[in-house]
Amino acid sequence: MASIDYTERIPNNVNLGEDRRLQRALEEWQPKFLEWWRDMGPHGFQATEVYLRTAVSVDPQGWAQFGYVRMPEYRWGIFLAEPEAARVIPFGDHKGRPVWQDVPGEYRGVLRRLIVTQGDTEPASVEQQRHLGRTCPSLYDLRNLFQVNVEEGRHLWAMVYLLDAYFGRDGREESEGLLERRAGDEDKPRILGAFNEKTPDWLSYLMFTFFTDRDGKYQLASLAESGFDPLARTCRFMLTEEAHHMFVGETGVGRVVQRTCELMRERKTDDVRRHGAIDLPTLQKYLNFHYSVSLDLFGSEISTNAANFYTMSLKGRFEETKKNDDHRLQDATYPVTEQDGETMTVREQPALQSLNERLRDDYIVDCQRGLDRWNRIIKEHGIDFEFRLPHRAFHRKIGTFADVRVSPEGRLLTEAEWGPKKRQWLPTPEDEAYVQSLMQPVTERGTFATWIAPPARGVNSQPVDFDYVRLA
Amino acid sequence: MADSDTVCVDFQTDPSRYKHWKLSFDGPVATLAMDVREDGGLRPGYELKLNSYDLGVDVELYDAVQRLRFEHPEVGAVVITSGKERVFCAGANIRMLSQSPHAFKVNFCKFTNETRNAIEDATVGSRQVYLTAVNGPCAGGGYELALATDWIIMADDGNTAVSLPEVPLLAVLPGTGGLTRLVDKRHVRRDRADFFCTTEEGVRGKRAAEWGLVDEVVPRSRLAEVVRARARELAARTDRPATAPGFRLLPLERTIADDAVRYRHVACELDRTRGIAWITVTAPAASPPNGAPGVHAQGSTFWPLALARELDDLVLHLRTNEAEVGVWVFKTAGRADLVEAYDRLLADHRDDWLVREIRLYWKRTLKRLDVTSRSMFALVEPGSCFVGTLLELALAADRSYMLDGTRRGERLPLATVRLTEANFGAYPMPNGLTRIANRHLAEPARVEKLRARLGEDLDARAAAEAGLVTFTPDDIDWDDEVRQALEARAAFSPDALTGMEASLRFGGPETLETKIFGRLSAWQNWVFQRPNAAGPKGALVVYGTGQRSEFDRRRV
Ligand SMILES: [Fe+2]
Ligand SMILES: [Fe+2]
């Protein structure tokens, strides 16, 4: 195995060519990864050439090189953001000390679990989305799907790099575990709930990339503050790619909204289903579903684990270094929404234990920004409708609201009240069947399915009708 | 109660009142599913999340284990599992532990240990085999519960693991025999056990089976099916009757007054000023019923069973709710012949499933006395009936006084004690010895000599000579002697007494049980007290706050 050109085969900035330990680990892992990609990656497109972006270095020229590739030949690389000179730990008990370049033994288990939990989400979404290619609304969208997929694959590589390079044998076992679990599998499920849900259609996929990938952004952003510098730098680089995934989600849903509004105007009707589009109330229901499932990903409102991660200086807050406080939070409090008998109330809780909730709050603000842009499209069409984020307690399965029924407005409901109302708030089987019925492949260059508008511009300055995926 | 800010804990319950367990039956297999109600804690201040437990949860478990043995002769195997989807059991609730006073924690651990031992005793003695279906993360006390069962089956789903995270997470030790059972019962290699006990997240999947931490791992989708099959196989090996009618353990007749607890056959008067509990056990009022059918017909009113339940409840009550009553004095009253007749009935029908259960129950109840951190005295006076099973109370005591002769002006018969078959093997102590053998370690041959004297009335002189009682003052000396002994006892440091008594009670060999209790009292209780666990920056105290514990790095 000595003569492999690592820079060519596995683009990296971690000096892979010199690192025997990492080489040994990756040589064992890489074939298993490819096997996993063949089994669980995009179904039916393994031999297809796709116009993809590959990162070959972290500088502005290198991080986005475009060209046609067959996905199994994609050059998944290992990149860390450039080191920050003399970086010190920004928060927690170790605040102010130089960042760790090696794993502190004391935190080995905790840190490994953090990385595995994040890493597990990366291949999961590829698995969830593997059948979507068959029903793509356009070549442009198909290409974007695959771009997201290969990048989730690269994110997996990034996490595996950390496990293999820093955690010895257990790290290697965990790396294999990441390839053995399967989204939605009863026996080997993915670790987090939302990553075992189905992504049965493109609307769900676009919502997923908007809402669920955005959870990823916030998790990565708080790990990017970590005192363990290799983790911080890895996550910082991943964030640049994550931004693109959210772009796909936000513009994708925006284009669906655009199409719907255009039809409502042109045909002067609310009943756009007759014209093969998705009505705004149905979109709101999908939004409700994906938003609430994604809120769960942040975990319990009051969390000892989150507190520990922070005190241990392993996982910070979103934009930790921009915050103006002591970055230890021993005595600080944070307002947390709770149920109080028949109503909702906000109580001050110890800030350390409320870190999940604080991150969820940051996320909610960010989601709202996306909704505002969609609402602007509706408004521009002169339509009287507005998307709203449901209340944080709506349809939750984790945390303090897991056992209560709550309306999108935040009103507590009895089980009897919830039952019939649920159909107005969450996609019904009929809604799903309708959306499913729209999922007919559109593979002619420059053509788009009836339910989605074309994008404003193409990828990498190419035209919209560019041959993004070369179908045989 | 003695301690005004603590709730009086009641150890009596029944399945209709369970908050935390679901009991279901499928022919010879029973399933005991743990589904702890978060807001169902005994005291305020903690939530029982993730199937974590407090004393209230364990009281129900104990009740269920008891009822399964007595009320369900048809059950040959019991599956312990979780009724929750994502977790098996997270162990004892940490917040409950950190907010509890030391004495409460120790007593809690003792009781949970006794219940784990009772589970093992059910498997071996009652031929009602316990197995565990680990269907989600199983940590600390959750795994220790599994360790008490005979067969552990775990879901292999990449997430479910067994763990003992006490050392890395809480700076304490597993409190219900986990360490001992790992190496002594399951024979897990010590170096692997070392790794396992220092790894917060534990071990899952194949490795758990390879290391002997569990017996089988199966895919989650096959767990239920494999557990059912295994339970059926184990149940098929029982000698319990498949069709015998069970009976109900009726509620105890009990009154708790300010200074007394009274049952049908036991009365306990509390002298709080001196810290003494006077416990009087009375003999049956009538001759025993006819044969095993007679025993079955009387059910839970059958004197030996009723008495065992009452004593069991009293011991638990006094231990938990009367911490300052440090000396227990046992007396008996009633007809010696009747007690002997009941012992004979039990011996003659020892192979009957119910009679076997009753004897096993007495064994466990007497063991509770052996590990109780109270000074125990027995007073053998005229009119008493320390015979066979009841003589074990005197033999379990730290010291006994027997009145030589009669009291002036009293018409009661001379104080005697009498040995029965029950004293020679029915009720072994935690160290595996009979109480008679345990007190004759210097001259084991005397045990055989005593066996030749079954049924004989032994007066004070004979009893003293036989080594069955400590001192035999006569009528003139009795009152002063007993009073002074009790007063002296009450004056010593309770801690020193607890340690001394526990050390002296068990001579002879070590067993799994003596190790578990010994290490609990020595190591765990020491660690529980140390600032590294319980100080202001100790791990137990800061747990959940997100703050880091600070350790005194000096090894002791
Ligand atoms: Fe990702
Ligand atoms: Fe992503």
Using H for helix, E for strand and C for coil, what is the string for chain A? Answer: CCCCCHHHHCCECCCHHHCHHHHHHHHHHHHHHHHHHHHHCCCCCCCCEEEEEECCCCCCCCCCEEEEEEHHHCCCCECCCCCCCCCECCCCCCCCCECECCCCHHHHHHHHHHHHHHHHHHHHHHHHCCCHHHHCCCHHHHHHHHHHHHHHHHHHHHHHHHHHHHCHHHHHHHHHHHHHCCCCCCCCCCCCHHHHCCCCCHHHHHHHHHHHHHHHHHHHHHHCCCCEHHHHHHHHHHHHHHHHHHHHHHHHHHHHHHHHHHHHHHHCCCCHHHHCCCCHHHHHHHHHHHHHHHHHCCCCCCCHHHHHHHHCCCCCCCCHHHCCCCCCCCCCEEEEEEEECCEEEEEEEECCCCHHHHHHHHHHHHHHHHHHHHHHHHHHCCCCCCCCCCCCCCCCCCCCCCCCEECCCCCEECHHHHHHHHHHHCCCHHHHHHHHHHCCCCCCCCCCCCCCCCCCCCHHHCCCCCCCEECC
- What's the gap in Å between A126 CA and the centre of ligand 2? 10
d(CA B111, CA A464): 73
| DSSP 8-class letter at B51 | G
Q: Residue window 156-195, chain B: list those with CB within 8 Å of chain A.
A: 156-159, 168
Residue B449 pLDDT grade (very low, low, confident, very high; cuts 50, 70, 90): very high
- What's the gap in Å between A456 CA and the centre of ligand 1? 25
Secondary structure of B483-546 as H, E, C letters = HHHHHHHHHCCHHHHHHHHHHHHCCCCCCHHHHHHHHHHHHHHHHHHCHHHHCCCCHHHHCCCC
- What's the gap in Å between B537 CA and the centre of ligand 1? 38
Tell the residue number behind the tokens 């557990």, with chain if given: B227
| DSSP 8-class letter at B177 | S
Domains in chain A (CATH in brackets) are: 16-470 (1.10.620.20)
Tokens (6 digits) for B160? 């479910």
- The residue ranges of every structural domain in chain B are 15-235, 255-493
Which residue among A186, A191, A307 places its CB closest to the CB of B159? A191
pLDDT exceeds 80 at position B2? no
- What's the gap in Å between A25 CA and the centre of ligand 2? 25
Tell the residue number behind the tokens 């990756």, with chain if given: A26
Check if the beta carbon of residue B181 is closer than 8 Å to that of residue B150: no
pLDDT given for residue B524 in this prediction: 83
Q: Give yes or no for B425 touching A (CB within 8 A).
A: no
The neighbour count for residue A30, using CB atoms within 10 Å, is: 15
Tokens (6 digits) for A360? 């969820």
d(CA A184, CA A189): 6
User: Model confidence over A188-230: pLDDT tens digits?
Assistant: 999 988 899 889 999 999 999 999 999 999 999 999 999 999 9
* Cross-chain Cβ contact A353/B168 below 8 Å: no
d(CA B500, CA B393): 19
pLDDT given for residue B85 in this prediction: 86
Q: List the single residue in A with minimal CA-CA distance to B156.
A: A187
pLDDT given for residue B469 in this prediction: 97
Check if the beta carbon of residue B189 is closer than 8 Å to that of residue B207: no
* Mean predicted confidence (pLDDT) in B106-112: 93
Q: What is the DSSP string of B293-320?
A: HHHHHHGGGSHHHHHHHHHHHHHHHHHH
Residue A4 pLDDT grade (very low, low, confident, very high; cuts 50, 70, 90): low
d(CA B464, CA B218): 60
pLDDT given for residue B6 in this prediction: 56
Long-range contacts (CB closer than 8 Å, 24 or more residues apart) made by B270-275: B270/B322, B270/B325, B272/B2, B272/B324, B272/B325, B274/B327, B274/B486, B274/B487, B274/B490, B275/B324, B275/B325, B275/B326, B275/B327, B275/B490
- Please state, rounded to an integer, the average pLDDT across all residues of chain A: 94
Kind of pairing between the strands at B417-418 and B457-458:
antiparallel
Tokens (6 digits) for B486? 């009790």
Ranges assigned E (strand) in B234-343: 254-256, 260-263, 266-271, 276-282, 327-333
* Cross-chain Cβ contact A307/B220 below 8 Å: no
d(CA B454, CA B449): 10
User: Closest approach of chain B CAs to the CA of A314, in angstroms?
Assistant: 12
Nearest ligand (C-alpha, residue A122): 1
Q: How many residues does chain B have?
A: 556
pLDDT given for residue B339 in this prediction: 98
- Kindly report which listed range (A99-113, B362-376, B391-405) carries the lowest average pLDDT score: A99-113
- What's the gap in Å between B155 CA and the centre of ligand 1? 29
* Mean predicted confidence (pLDDT) in B444-460: 95
Side by side, the strands of the sheet bearing A65-70 are A65-70, A49-54, A469-470
* Mean predicted confidence (pLDDT) in B394-399: 98
CA proximity to B243, closest of B495, B27, B80:
B27
Tokens (6 digits) for B53? 């437990």
Size of interface A-B (CB pairs under 8 A): 50
Tokens (6 digits) for B277? 């509990």
pLDDT given for residue A10 in this prediction: 86
Check if the beta carbon of residue A182 is closer than 8 Å to that of residue A246: no
Q: List the single residue in B with minimal CA-CA distance to A307.
A: B546
- What's the gap in Å between A213 CA and the centre of ligand 1? 7
The SS3 call for residue B204 is: strand
Q: Give yes or no for B302 touching A (CB within 8 A).
A: no
Check if the beta carbon of residue A199 is closer than 8 Å to that of residue A124: no
* Cross-chain Cβ contact B158/A189 below 8 Å: yes
Which residue among B200, B219, B547 places its CB closest to the CB of A187? B219
Which residue among B157, B201, B544 places its CB closest to the CB of A188? B157
Return the biggest CA–CA distance within chain A.
69
Strand partners, A23: none
CATH T-level assignment (fold) for domain B15-235: 2-enoyl-CoA Hydratase; Chain A, domain 1 (3.90.226)
* Cross-chain Cβ contact A186/B220 below 8 Å: yes
- Tell me whether domains B15-235 and B255-493 share a fold: yes
- Please, which residues have CB within 8 angstroms of residue A11's CB and are 6 or more apart in sequence? A54, A55, A56, A57, A75, A77, A78, A79
Which residue among B158, B200, B548 places its CB closest to the CB of A93? B548
- What's the gap in Å between B236 CA and the centre of ligand 1? 52
Nearest ligand (C-alpha, residue A210): 2
pLDDT exceeds 80 at position A84? yes
Residues of A with CB under 8 A from a CB of B: 93, 109-110, 113, 177, 180-181, 186-189, 191, 304, 306-308, 310-312, 329-330, 350, 352-353
CATH superfamily of B255-493: 2-enoyl-CoA Hydratase; Chain A, domain 1 (3.90.226.10)
Check if the beta carbon of residue B134 is closer than 8 Å to that of residue B228: no
A175 vs A113, A169, A171, B196, CA distance in Å? 12, 10, 6, 21
Give me the phi and psi of B522, to 5 degrees please.
-85, -70
pLDDT exceeds 70 at position A15? yes
Give me the phi and psi of B502, to 5 degrees please.
-60, -35
* Mean predicted confidence (pLDDT) in B360-375: 97
pLDDT exceeds 90 at position B522? no
Amino acid at the residue B476:
I
* Cross-chain Cβ contact A304/B201 below 8 Å: no
- HSE (side-chain half, CA atoms, 13 Å) at B424: 17
d(CA A286, CA A272): 16
ipTM of predicted complex: 0.76
pLDDT given for residue A5 in this prediction: 67
Tokens (6 digits) for B386? 């320390």
* Mean predicted confidence (pLDDT) in B400-412: 91
User: Model confidence over A251-267: pLDDT tens digits?
Assistant: 999 999 999 999 999 99
Q: Give yes or no for B545 touching A (CB within 8 A).
A: yes
d(CA A81, CA A235): 8
End-to-end CA distance of chain A: 35
pLDDT exceeds 50 at position B1? no
User: Model confidence over A150-197: pLDDT tens digits?
Assistant: 999 999 999 999 999 999 888 999 999 999 999 999 889 999 888 998
Greater pLDDT, A2 or A401: A401
pLDDT exceeds 80 at position A472? no
* Mean predicted confidence (pLDDT) in B85-111: 91
Strand partners, A349: A334
pLDDT exceeds 60 at position B347? yes
Q: Give yes or no for B245 touching A (CB within 8 A).
A: no
Q: Give yes or no for B35 touching A (CB within 8 A).
A: no
Residue A9 pLDDT grade (very low, low, confident, very high; cuts 50, 70, 90): confident
- What's the gap in Å between A104 CA and the centre of ligand 1? 26
pLDDT given for residue B546 in this prediction: 81
* Cross-chain Cβ contact A311/B220 below 8 Å: no
- What's the gap in Å between A449 CA and the centre of ligand 1? 27
pLDDT given for residue A57 in this prediction: 84
User: Closest approach of chain A CAs to the CA of B267, in angstroms?
Assistant: 46
- Please state, rounded to an integer, the average pLDDT across all residues of chain B: 94
Check if the beta carbon of residue B510 is closer than 8 Å to that of residue B384: no
pLDDT given for residue A2 in this prediction: 40
Neighbours of ion ligand 2 (CB under 5 A): A 213, 245
Q: Residue window 315-344, chain B: list those with CB within 8 Å of chain A.
A: none
Nearest ligand (C-alpha, residue A156): 1
Q: Residue window 196-215, chain B: list those with CB within 8 Å of chain A.
A: 199-201
**Substitution target from A169, A187, A401 for chain B, most B beta carbons within 10 A:** A187
Which residue among A109, A189, A304 places its CB closest to the CB of B546? A304
Q: Report CA torsion sign: A168, A171, A172, A173.
A: positive
* Mean predicted confidence (pLDDT) in B486-504: 92
Q: How many residues does chain A have?
A: 472
B226 vs B76, B119, B128, B295, CA distance in Å? 17, 22, 19, 38
* Mean predicted confidence (pLDDT) in A448-457: 97
Residue B224 pLDDT grade (very low, low, confident, very high; cuts 50, 70, 90): very high
Tokens (6 digits) for B405? 């002769």
Which residue among A113, A189, A329 places its CB closest to the CB of B201? A113
Which residue among A110, A188, A310 places its CB closest to the CB of B546? A310
- Please, which residues have CB within 8 angstroms of residue A59's CB and are 6 or more apart in sequence? none
The SS3 call for residue B176 is: coil
pLDDT given for residue B159 in this prediction: 86
What is the value of pTM for the model shown? 0.87
